[in-house]
Each structure stands twice: as structure tokens, then as C-alpha cells.
Structure 1
Amino acid sequence: MLARDQRTPFSEWWWTVDKLLLAAIIALMLAGIILSLAASPPVATRIGLDPFHFFSRHVMFLLPSFMVLIAVSFMSPKAIRRSALLVFVVSIVLIVATLAFGPEVKGSRRWITMLGVNIQASESAKPAFVVMAAWLFAESTKRPEMPATSMAIVLLLMVVSLLVMEPDFGQTMLLLMVWGALFFIGGMRMIWVAGLAGAAGAGLFGAYLLVPHVAGRIKRFMNPASGDTFQVDTAMEAFWNGGWFGLGPGEGIAKRSLPDSHTDFVFAVAAEEFGIILCLALVALFAFVVIRTLLRAYRSEDMFSRFAASGLAILFGVQAAINMAVNLQLIPAKGMTLPFISYGGSSIVSLAYGVGMMLALTRLRPRTEVESMNDATTARSYA
């Protein structure tokens, strides 16, 4: 056992990190391994690959992702700001490169291949964007004379414009919701929040009028008879088939025909094979991670840590909620991975980076350390 009086980086991390939060995240990762083994073999077999192709790649991505998570959780808030800026700049460059050179798949350019690896730069941009926006909102509360809110709006418009050009309206709506939540947490007036919501609604209506595949998904959701709803219908059947306790590991039927059973609809596979009980346990784990992080963030004396941890928790929770809602046919179909459960290299690594920052920002820190950080910021503002 590590003694509290030991002054090594690992001992300091161990006694300050939120162990319950870390345990919940590890539990989600382990659940992802089990569900990947359950959901991915039929998909791989259908397209002529080794049955365990996606499972082995899921584990292969998960191992370095866990290392990234732990390494980032050692960082100080200052180091997190710097790393987020670097990741954000690199991600924006890669998104621009994707728009210019990436292959077009189903009318979208979202992936670029580098050194034999497919990269979706918008995934890494998400947590970095949230941290950058949180820093600007934190600065606006401490230094009203700084145009931090205007800079945050410019940052949002830049990212949203690039995502719409791909186009990726799901990620766009996700970032708008998180940015709006940070805007509200920052104490902005309700009229501004209402204006943001109105602008987002107008943007969605514009997409409905101008983008055929967005209009098609909304129409199919409102009127299933208007188009192909095979995937969502099969997912709902999986929930009915599984009942409370499931058909048993490997006994699922839906995964044999669902094209995206290992990604967008892995939650439905979990319901059919392991039952609604497991699905409720997953929901409880996601809710615990979000609520625990928000509570720890609320207790933080440092405004940047409070905003950044809150934003990352909301990003994590909303993404999970969107995926599960699509599986349950509560919202129009949208390709959004279930954090640490769905297959996806870029998604898992980016999630690990974001959750690592959550763990770092919610670590227990002496009051003197927080005060010295705030004093240093104040001193720079008057220098």
C-alpha cells in the first residue's frame, strides 16, 4: 500500500484522484470489450473479414487509450490548457485536410488516412474545443474587460462551420449543446441562452430544407412508412426479444442483420443478449460518471477547472444519451458512438483523452495550490 506521506508523482496521483470515478470508467471499458466480442463477429463475417477482426482492433485501440487516460490524469490544469490548445490546432488542420483530400463516403468527408490509419479529426477536436471554450468563459468571469465571450463565439462558429462543411450535423449539434451549457453555467443572461437555442433550431430547420439526408432521417422518424427504417426497427425488436434478462451471450438475432451492430447499435445487441438489466446498469454507469464529475467540479475553487470538468462531463453524457436514444427510437437516427462501448479507434482515443482531463481536473488539490493559480492569473492581468 502507498503511504500518504510519500512524495512521488504516482503516490500524489493515487491519493488525489477520484477512485470511484476511475472505477466506473474502467467498468465501461470492460463492458465495451465484452459487448464488442458479442456484437462484432457477425459484421466482420458478412464483409469477408476474420470473425474477430473488429474485436481484436477494439482491444488494440483500448490499451493505448487507457495509457493516454492515465497519463493525462496526471496533468495540472495549466498543462491541460496547453495540451488542449495543441490538440485543437492539430485537429483543425486535420479537418481542413480532410475536407481537401479525404475520400467522400455517402456524401460526407469525415476521414483521412495517415500512415495507414483512418483518422476522424472531429473526434479529437471535441474535448479540446470544450476545454478551450471553458478557459475563455472562466476568463470572462475573472476579467470582464477581456472579450473572452466574443472569442468563445468566434471559436464556436469556426468549429461549427468546418463540421457543417463535412457535413456532420450530429457532432455539430453535440458541440452546440455543450457550448450552450457552458454559456449558461458561466452565468450568462437567459436572453442569450434563448437566442442560442433559437439559432440552433433555425440551423436545424435550414439543414432540413437544404440537406436531403437530414430531411430523410427526420421524415423517417416522424413517419416510418416514408422510407427505410430497417436498422432502428431491428434495434427495437432486439429490446423486445431480450426482455429483462436477455437471450444469453452469443444468442442474439439482431446482430446477424444489423450493419452497424458493433458501432451505432451495440446498445441494442446488449439488450438482446444480456437483457434490459444490463442496459440499465450501463445507463447507471454513464449517469454516475457525469453526476460525480459535476459534483466534484462544483466544489472546485478554480473557475477553469470547474467549467472544463463540467463541459467534458456534459459532452460525455450527451453523446451517450444520443446513442441510446437512437437505439430506442426516441430521436432520428444519427451515427454517434456509445463511449467506450462502440467500436471506433479515433473515438476511443479521443474519449480517453477527454476522460483523462476530467480525472485530472477533479483531483483533490490543496487550497493553497488553487489560490496560487488564481493569484498568478490575477498578477498577469495587471502586469
Structure 2
Amino acid sequence: MNFLNKLRGDKVIWAIVVLLALISFLPVYSASTNLVYVIGKGSTLGYLFKHLVHLFIGFVIIFWIHKVPYHIFRALSMLGLPVVVALLIYTLFQGTTIGGANASRWIQIPFVGISFQTSTLAFTVLMVYVARYLAKVSDKEYSFKDSLLELWLPIFGVLIFILPSNFSTTALIFSMVCMLLYIGQYPLKYLGVVLGSGFVVLMLFFLMAKAFPDNKLFSRVSTWESRVERFLHDEPNEDDYQIEKAKIAIASGKIYGLGPGKSVQKNFLPQSSSDFIFAIIVEEYGLIGAIGIVFLYLLLFFRFIINAQKASTLFGKLLIIGLGFPIIFQALVNMAVAVELLPVTGQTLPLISAGGTSIWMTCVSIGIILSVTKKDEEVAQDEEEKKQRDEALKRIIDREIQEGSTENTEEEIDESPNPLEPVLNQ
């Protein structure tokens, strides 16, 4: 109970996030049998424990970040942007390929052996940076030229290094940035110019891919084209196999589902614990389970809207919108792929799908949002706790210094010559 009293911010958001995390355990445990018995890799308990560790680290991230005053993220976004660009460049050119195609999306964290998808970090940092810029210029007059260097150069600088290996994430980031700019009242005529310019840049990228098809940077373009063509013309391919298995799983679930752990398609559906976990949930828990998941995400969406309206600063409002809406949009994309409303994109179901990077960066966003939603009295309590911690730390340091000085004084007294010693020796 004492721990619950330390939780700040919107309690409904806390409850929904915890509930989504708890819901994820059974589907992840059930779907992991595909990796164990079909692929022959690891154990079901091992994957469950790994998911538990990822979620535990994620909630530690939420707790730690939601204690930080959200205005600090203004400066952190500016400092983090060059770091993110450097990581994206390293990720892109590190030479990772799968089947001859560019798959440079992850980097290995030294010494711990954990892979990290840098584009998810870039997404979060970029949204905070855009929110900071919009808040800064909200009461000023500026031209498109003024925003070109400070706003659009960082945006395109990030997107250009994600695009070659991950088109869906690039499109998601760009659409969410445009959404935030529209809500932040960025001039529509400027936004129209950027949309047109972005389309031209994308066409140039595809033309260069046609001109240099053997270049590793453009090796994913043919995959994107084939996915879109086969989706539009309903031609069979590997993605079609995944979609068909997902639709069979959804159809098998009917109203009440087959029951926890009784999914059949998890043994045939690739990425059943991540990209297509929604299909497994529907197969095991039926239409009722699907509606429950959708309801939780929509409830989270409404809480974001309510808290954005309540936020005391424009920067706070834009942070909630810029970091909260993409979570909901990503969830909708994941579910739309499972029912074949969209081509396969590789977007996970936030807080439910297995995977470390996606969970952690979602938790970073949730932590920042909760920091914005803190009430004045909660902020005062945090400041009081911080003051008490600082005072306690100062007392410990002072005591250590005092004890060290006392020991030094005693040593000096012990080592000093006794003036009576010559007389006594005589």
C-alpha cells in the first residue's frame, strides 16, 4: 500500500497499463510454443520469464520517468537528437542482412547481448522535440524558412536513416509528426509544402532503388513493392500465408474462443507472439476477448484526450498527444493487419506483444505522459521527497567527512612525539 501511495499521475492510465501487461502473459506463453515445438528453440517457461523481465524493466522505467518533472524533457530532446541520429547511422551501416536484404534495424548492446531497435528510440525523442518546438513558437510569428532548419532538418534527418530498412516505421513516424503539427497549429500551407516535398523525396528514393537495385540500401524496396502489389491484387505469397493463418485463427475463435492455451494456429503462424498476437488472442478468447482489448486501448485513448485538455502548459498537452496517440495508432495498425485491412507492416501490439525494445519505449512514453498528468499536490510531494532524499544524502556525506576527519586527527596525535619521552628515557 505504501508503494501505491508513491504512484503519481492519472490512476486510470496506471490501471489500464497494468491490465494490458497482465493480459499479455497468457497469449505470449501460449504463442511461444511455436518457437519451442515448431522451430525447436528455447522453452515456453523461458520465453514467459523473458517477457516478465521485459515488463518488469518497463515498469521500472515508467516509475523512474514519471517522477521526473516533464519540463526537463525539453532539454533532453535537444541533447538526445544528435545521439539518436548517430545511432541510426551506425545501425544502418553496420551491415546486417537477412536473405540478402537490408535488415539493419537492431544493434547489439555491448556486454549484455540484448538487441535494441534504434528507430523506436528515435520515434520517442523526435516527438518530444517537435512538441518542444511547437510550444516554443506558439506565441511567435515565423516563416517556413525559420522552421526549415530547426524543425524539418532534424525530422528528415531522422527519417532518412530509418527509411532504407523500415518503411512502415518511417511512414508511421512521419504521419504522427504531421498529426502533432496539425494539432499544434503549425500553418497548413507550410505543412502542405512539406507533404509535397516528402512525396518527391520518396519518389526519388524509389527511382534510385530502380537505378541501383544491387545496392544494400535499396534492397528492401522490392519487398515493399511486392507486399503492396500482392495485397492489392490478392496474390499468394509468404505474407498471404501469414494473413490466411491469422484469419483462420480469428474465425476459429467465434464468440467465446477456444480457451486459454488452446490455439491451433499458433503452431503455424509465424510471429504469433509478436506481430500476430492479436489473432491468437481472438482464437483463444473469441470476439469477447477482441472487444475487450479494443475497449482498453480506446479507454486509454480517451484518458489521453482528457489529460491533454487538463494539462497546464502547451508543451504538456503536446507531449500527451505526441507520445500517447502513436501508441493507440500502432495498436490499431497491428489489429488491422491481422484482419487484412492493411498489408503486413511488422508493428507490434503495444504492451502485449513479446519484445524488449517495443515494450521499453512504450513505457518511456507512458512515463512521460504520467509525469504531465501529475496534480499540483503530487508535484509538491515529489519535490518534498526529493528534498528529504537530498538532505539525507547530505547528512551521510557530512558524517563520513566528519568521521574521516576524526580518524585523521587521532592518527596525527598517535604519530606526534611525546615531549616527556626523553626525560623518561633518562
Calculate the TM-score normalised by the size of structure 2. 0.78
- For residue 36 of structure 1, the aligned residue among 28, 31, 35 is 28
Q: Distance in 1 between matches of 2:149 and 2:203?
A: 25
Contact 2:35/2:42 (8 A) holds in 1: no
| Pair 283,142 (structure 1): closer, same or farther in 2 beyond 3 Å | same
1:96 paired to 2:93: no
- For residue 123 of structure 1, the aligned residue among 114, 120, 127 is 120
Q: Distance in 1 between matches of 2:36 and 2:85?
A: 32
- For residue 225 of structure 1, the aligned residue among 221, 224, 235 is 235
Contact 1:134/1:307 (8 A) holds in 2: yes
1:341 paired to 2:352: yes
2:267 aligns with 256
- For residue 188 of structure 2, the aligned residue among 172, 175, 190 is 190
- For residue 294 of structure 1, the aligned residue among 305, 309, 326 is 305
2:52 aligns with 59
Q: Deviations for 1:157-178, whole angstroms, at most 9, x for unmatched residues?
A: 111111013x211110111111
Q: Distance in 1 between matches of 2:197 and 2:344?
A: 22
Q: Secondary structure at the match of 1:22?
A: helix
Amino acid at match of 2:161: L
1:374 aligns with none
Q: Secondary structure at the match of 1:162?
A: helix
1:352 aligns with 363
Instruction: Note the 1:1-383 alignment, pairs <5 A.
Output: 14=7, 17-52=9-44, 53-105=46-98, 106-114=101-109, 115=111, 116-144=113-141, 147-148=146-147, 150-165=149-164, 167-199=165-197, 210=209, 211-225=221-235, 227-228=237-238, 229-365=240-376
Contact 2:320/2:372 (8 A) holds in 1: yes
Moved more, 32-41 or 183-192: 183-192
Contact 1:87/1:124 (8 A) holds in 2: no
Amino acid at match of 2:173: L
Q: How many angstroms does 1:267 deviate by?
A: 0.3
Q: Distance in 2 between matches of 1:10 and 1:75?
A: 17
Q: Distance in 2 between matches of 1:234 and 1:202?
A: 37
| Pair 362,232 (structure 1): closer, same or farther in 2 beyond 3 Å | same
Contact 1:58/1:344 (8 A) holds in 2: yes
Q: How many angstroms does 1:150 deviate by?
A: 4.6
Q: Deviations for 1:66-110, whole angstroms, at most 9, x for unmatched residues?
A: 010111111112223344444444333222221222522342211
Q: Distance in 1 between matches of 2:200 and 2:48?
A: 41
Contact 1:136/1:149 (8 A) holds in 2: no
Q: How many angstroms does 1:200 deviate by?
A: 5.1
Name stretches of at least 5 consecutive residues in structure 1 with no aligned partner: 3-8, 370-383
Contact 1:111/1:121 (8 A) holds in 2: yes
Q: Secondary structure at the match of 1:77?
A: coil
Q: Distance in 2 between matches of 1:32 and 1:201?
A: 38
Moved more, 182-191 or 263-272: 182-191
Q: How many angstroms does 1:249 deviate by?
A: 1.2
Amino acid at match of 1:75: V
Moved more, 354-363 or 206-215: 206-215
Name stretches of at least 5 consecutive residues in structure 2 with no aligned partner: 210-220, 381-426
Q: Distance in 1 between matches of 2:198 and 2:296?
A: 30
Q: Distance in 1 between matches of 2:333 and 2:116?
A: 22
Length, aligned pairs only: 359
Q: How many angstroms does 1:24 deviate by?
A: 0.6
Q: Deviations for 1:207-256, whole angstroms, at most 9, x for unmatched residues?
A: 77742111111011111225341001110111111011101111111110
Q: Distance in 1 between matches of 2:21 and 2:103?
A: 29
| Pair 260,153 (structure 1): closer, same or farther in 2 beyond 3 Å | same
| Pair 206,298 (structure 1): closer, same or farther in 2 beyond 3 Å | farther
Q: Secondary structure at the match of 1:113?
A: strand
Contact 2:266/2:272 (8 A) holds in 1: yes
Q: Distance in 2 between matches of 1:162 and 1:256?
A: 36
Q: Distance in 2 between matches of 1:258 and 1:226?
A: 15
Moved more, 93-102 or 245-254: 93-102
Q: Distance in 2 between matches of 1:285 and 1:72?
A: 23
1:5 aligns with none
Calculate the TM-score normalised by the size of structure 1. 0.86
Q: Distance in 1 between matches of 2:338 and 2:204?
A: 25
Moved more, 294-303 or 270-279: 294-303
What CA RMSD, in Å, does the superposition of the two structures yield over aligned residues?
2.5
Q: Secondary structure at the match of 1:341?
A: coil
